[in-house]
């Protein structure tokens, strides 16, 4: 038993090191340069998006790399939710933010902005033939926006909003521009309000269905750093000046903003079968969707696997804590602590635990490790109850028998009770693994590219929802089916050893 636990711990350490290795380059990559963590939200093409190779790409990414290299820094790009960027700068989770972020008075109170690097406006995307022709027309309508952006601010009725005054205006906030667009394509809203360049990309990818116009004043994008970090801000401003002078800035504008080729679509022939094949090719092959799915599958599997190992180790510890009694048969402090842990974990949603772990405890660093720890701790609570039930299910006489043979309490546990309990709990532990695999589907919240996030990626590139979602549903189903089959075989074997 001890040896098995040692082996599991070793495996866990090796995997954690591997993950840390995959998670980003460490400072030792470049011996002299300091690596800065650059936060972005890669859902805002052409400024930032995930390219076909699964990497953060876009105008902003090219620009910040050039600026930081001028300033003598290396950079590691961290993809996160747009509304978390300012908070992460303040808490030190990231050093710099570049995300097509508009300078606003409210944001200026929390962060310091560089000199502006791009001027934009907000665009209103509507279905072709819509009667909405001005911002004013959005009064009383349903509008989709990206949560926490200036588009959101412009259309949400408030005391300071002079244009959208109708309180019946429904504003649906989405995490991503592509989700807002899918909502518009599905008829769930009348318009999407978003910045001009992303709007043009969205319309280009849906040119037979959508059109856009702008009817707002100009806004300026800038790079943000934590308040008071004037040394870094000066270096960024100088770097920006240099890349504008040496032509890098214009090259990036040509490459990303003036270039139409990032927009992909597929030809419709009218033949249902041929169109379906073309659509599948477009969704899964042309945008490298199948690679995203395979990578996502691997991430889902290893996060679940490591979390289950951590969960089992924790589960054993907590179960023994929970079962511990003092000399008078009363619950020990350890037992009470274990009870509180189980109570809290079972009483709060896993997604909340994940967000607390990643944003508060890990400070937006080491996302995969944060996910493994979250799911390990989460699973530990359930596993401990399974183990406790397994141990208490072993007949009391077994303990008495062991003790009367001269074994100590721990020896009886080790040689008599636990081996029997394990047989009882293995099927339930298997089920816990299956449940965990499906539960990890929420890791996309902290920008981990798991299987579910892979479908998200495909949807945001193709605006096709059915095929990617169907694909991941089938993959999850198959994993669960295979595991269930393996468990059934395992259980049959265990039962066979019982019949003698
Ligand atoms: N420019 C907008 C803002 O700053 C949107 C930015 C974004 O969605 N990345 O709110």
Mean of per-residue pLDDT scores for the chain: 88
275-295 residue pLDDT tens: 899 889 988 998 889 999 999
Q: Which of 99, 111, 118, 152 to mutate to test the pocket of ligand 1 (most atoms within 8 A of CB)?
A: 99
Residue 26 confidence (pLDDT) above 70: no
Q: Is 99 in the pocket of ligand 1 (CB under 6 A)?
A: yes
pLDDT at 19: 46
Mean pLDDT across 404-431: 87
- Mutation test residue for ligand 1: of 85, 98, 100, 123, the one with most atoms within 8 Å of CB: 100
Q: How far apart are CA 39 and CA 150, in angstroms?
A: 18
Strand segments, DSSP code E, in 89-141 are 96-97, 111-113, 118-120, 122-127
Distance from the alpha carbon of residue 219 to the mean position of ligand 1, in angstroms:
10
Per-residue pLDDT band for 84 (boundaries 50, 70, 90) equals confident
Percentage of the chain beyond pLDDT 70 is 92
The residues near 457 (Cβ < 8 Å, ≥ 6 apart) are 50, 289, 292, 449
Q: Tell me: the pLDDT tens digits for 95-108?
A: 999 999 999 999 99
84 secondary structure, DSSP code: G
C-beta separation of 178 from 125 below 8 A: no
Residue with more model confidence, 12 or 425: 425
Task: Write down the pLDDT at residue 246.
Answer: 94
**β-pair partners for 170:** 142
> How far apart (Å, rounded) are the C-alpha atoms in residues 338 and 321?
6
Please give the distance of CA 193 from its chain centroid, rounded to a whole number. 24
Q: What is the pLDDT of residue 199?
A: 93
Mutate to test the pocket of ligand 1, among 82, 107, 178, 214 (most ligand atoms within 8 A of CB): 82
Q: Is 63 helix (H, G, I), strand (E, B) or coil?
A: helix
Q: Are 57 and 48 in contact (CB under 8 A)?
A: yes
97 lines ligand 1 (CB under 6 A): no
> According to the model, what pLDDT value does residue 93 have?
87
Rounded Cα distance between 383 and 132, Å, is: 55
* Residue closest to 194 by CA, chosen among 159, 155, 252, 161: 155
pTM given for the model: 0.78
Strand residue runs (E) in 41-103: 43-44, 48-50, 56-57, 73-79, 96-97
Q: What per-residue confidence (pLDDT) applies to 126? A: 97
On the question of pLDDT at 4 being above 70, the answer is no
- Worst-scoring range by mean pLDDT, 117-121, 169-173, 319-323? 319-323
The verdict on the CB of residue 41 being under 6 Å from ligand 1 is yes
- Residue 401 Cα distances to 69, 393, 394, angstroms: 72, 16, 12
With a CB cutoff of 8 Å and minimum separation 6, the contacts of 408 are none
**Structure-token match 């009218």, residue found:** 270
pLDDT tens readout for residues 183-226: 999 999 999 999 999 999 899 989 889 999 987 789 999 999 99
Q: Which helix (H) or strand (E) holds 99?
A: none
Half-sphere exposure of 236 (CA within 13 A, CB side): 26
Residue 271 predicted with pLDDT over 90? no
């Amino acid at each position: 038993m001890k040896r098995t636990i040692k082996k599991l711990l070793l495996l866990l350490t090796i995997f954690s090191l591997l993950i840390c290795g995959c998670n980003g380059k460490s400072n030792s990559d470049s011996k002299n340069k300091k690596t800065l963590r650059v936060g972005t939200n890669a859902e805002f093409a052409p400024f930032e998006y995930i390219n076909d190779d699964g990497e953060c790409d876009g105008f902003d990414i090219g620009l910040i790399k050039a600026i930081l290299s001028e300033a003598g820094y290396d950079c590691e790009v961290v993809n996160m939710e747009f509304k978390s960027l300012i908070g992460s700068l303040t808490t030190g989770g990231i050093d710099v933010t570049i995300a097509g972020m508009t300078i606003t008075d409210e944001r200026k109170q929390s962060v310091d902005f560089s000199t502006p690097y791009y001027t934009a406006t907000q665009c209103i995307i509507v279905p072709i033939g819509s009667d909405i022709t001005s911002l004013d027309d959005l009064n009383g309508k349903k509008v989709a926006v990206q949560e926490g952006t200036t588009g959101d601010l412009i259309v949400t009725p408030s005391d300071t909003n002079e244009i959208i005054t109708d309180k019946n205006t429904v504003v649906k906030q989405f995490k991503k521009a592509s989700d807002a667009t899918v909502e518009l394509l599905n008829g769930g809203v009348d318009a999407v309000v978003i910045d001009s360049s992303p709007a043009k990309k969205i319309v280009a990818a849906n040119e037979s269905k959508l059109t856009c116009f702008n009817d707002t004043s100009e806004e300026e994008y800038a790079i943000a750093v934590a308040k008071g970090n004037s040394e870094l801000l000066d270096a960024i401003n100088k770097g920006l000046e240099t890349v504008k002078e040496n032509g890098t800035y214009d090259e990036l504008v040509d490459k990303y903003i003036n270039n139409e080729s990032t927009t992909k679509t597929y030809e419709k022939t009218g033949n249902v079968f041929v169109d379906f094949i073309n659509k599948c090719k477009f969704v899964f092959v042309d945008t490298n969707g199948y690679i995203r799915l395979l990578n996502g599958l691997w991430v889902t599997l290893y996060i679940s696997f490591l979390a289950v190992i951590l969960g089992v180790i924790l589960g054993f510890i907590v179960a023994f804590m929970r079962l511990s009694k003092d000399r008078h048969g009363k619950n020990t402090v350890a037992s009470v602590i274990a009870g509180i842990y189980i109570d809290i974990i079972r009483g709060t949603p896993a997604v909340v635990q994940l967000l607390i772990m990643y944003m508060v405890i890990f400070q937006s660093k080491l996302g995969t490790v944060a996910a493994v720890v979250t799911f390990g701790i989460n699973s530990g609570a359930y596993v401990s109850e399974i183990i406790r039930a397994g141990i208490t299910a072993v007949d009391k006489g077994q303990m008495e028998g062991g003790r009367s043979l001269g074994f100590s309490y721990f020896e009886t546990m080790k040689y008599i009770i636990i081996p029997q309990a394990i047989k009882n709990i293995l099927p339930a532990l298997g089920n816990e693994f299956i449940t965990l695999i499906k539960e990890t589907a929420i890791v996309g919240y902290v920008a981990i590219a798991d299987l579910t996030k892979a479908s998200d990626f495909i949807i945001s590139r193709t605006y096709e929802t059915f095929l990617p979602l169907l694909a991941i549903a089938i993959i999850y189903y198959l994993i669960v089916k295979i595991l269930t089959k393996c468990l059934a075989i395992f259980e049959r074997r265990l039962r066979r050893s019982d019949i003698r």
